[in-house]
Amino acid sequence: MTWLVTGGAGYIGAHVVREFLDAGMPVTVLDDLSTGRLGFLPGHVSFTRGTILDGSLLARVFDEHDVTGVVHVAGFKYAGVSVQRPLFTYEQNVDGTTVLLAAMQDRGVGRIVFSSSAAVYGTPDVDLVTEGTAKAPESPYGESKLIGEWLLRDQEVAAGLRHTSLRYFNVVGSGDPSIRDTSPHNLFPLVFDALVDGRTPRINGTDYPTPDGTCVRDYVHVSDIAKAHVAAARRLDADEPIERAYNLGSGSGVSVAEIMAAVARITGIPFQPELAPRRPGDPPRIVANGDLAARDLDWAMRHSLDDMVASAWAARQAAPTV
């Protein structure tokens, strides 16, 4: 009765692994370490280095560890870069998911929690995104995540697969100082790196129709995200009713200016952000309704903005200097 976490050595995946361990649920990890790091995992966790594109390796992992369910976090997650690398993105996210599902079917593994994304919605024209909001992805990354959801849906019809997809918005913070967000594209790492390097963080756009003129986004703590995966896995294990997809959002959102103020307050590094023009395509506000997840997955915003910044900063400070 073991759950496999693909991409389990990454920022989000490693938090999911720790939540499974805290819940007393056996877990094993598969990761190719292209972006993941072994140091993010507790030393006693069962680990296999490899790619989800290797069906034979997946079959061996399923057999050796008596895998009964999969949390599928592995994938190429850089939306902007995916525009320049569409074929690579589809190979990793679509072909990889197809190979994984085929191996699951072959080995009789019938439960999966899929790491999806707010990118499936593109730029929604509503103030509060629900699971029923129109899907209009604007990048190969967003398209690949939506296709992943379709693959699960179709396997449900064809093979009785039990599944759910968790749509993340802006995942931040850290549940352990040894795990941090290393993405070169996300706001928190960009701001922290600027401060550490003696540069001034930048705000793109201050004239949006929002309370302080800066973009409002939905920031959620990575530990809360990880807890939702465990709750979903438990629901699948218990054969309880489950939705095909859940938004993991706050329902309120935080502005970029509020993030900057919190960073200055928490780090003790005073700064006035550099103000730059809007970036093309940035919508004023994207915030998600998380009511369905709260109903079924014990979803809640257990961390304040200051908690998110403080935990992420502690992890950044603990990062190796070489």
Q: Name the residues annotated as catalytic.
A: 141
Contact 70, 96 (CB under 8 A): no
Contact 17, 8 (CB under 8 A): yes
Using alpha carbons, select from 2, 232, 199 the residue that is nearest to residue 113.
Answer: 232
- Catalogue the E-assigned strands of 136-213: 162-168, 170-172, 202-204
Q: What distance in Å separates the CA atoms of residue 219 and residue 240, rounded to the nearest whole number? A: 29
Backbone angles phi, psi at 125, to 5 degrees: -100, 25
Over 110-149, what HEC string results?
A: CEEEEEEEHHHHCCCCCCEECCCCCCCCCCHHHHHHHHHH
Query: What is the 8-class DSSP label of residue 23?
Result: T
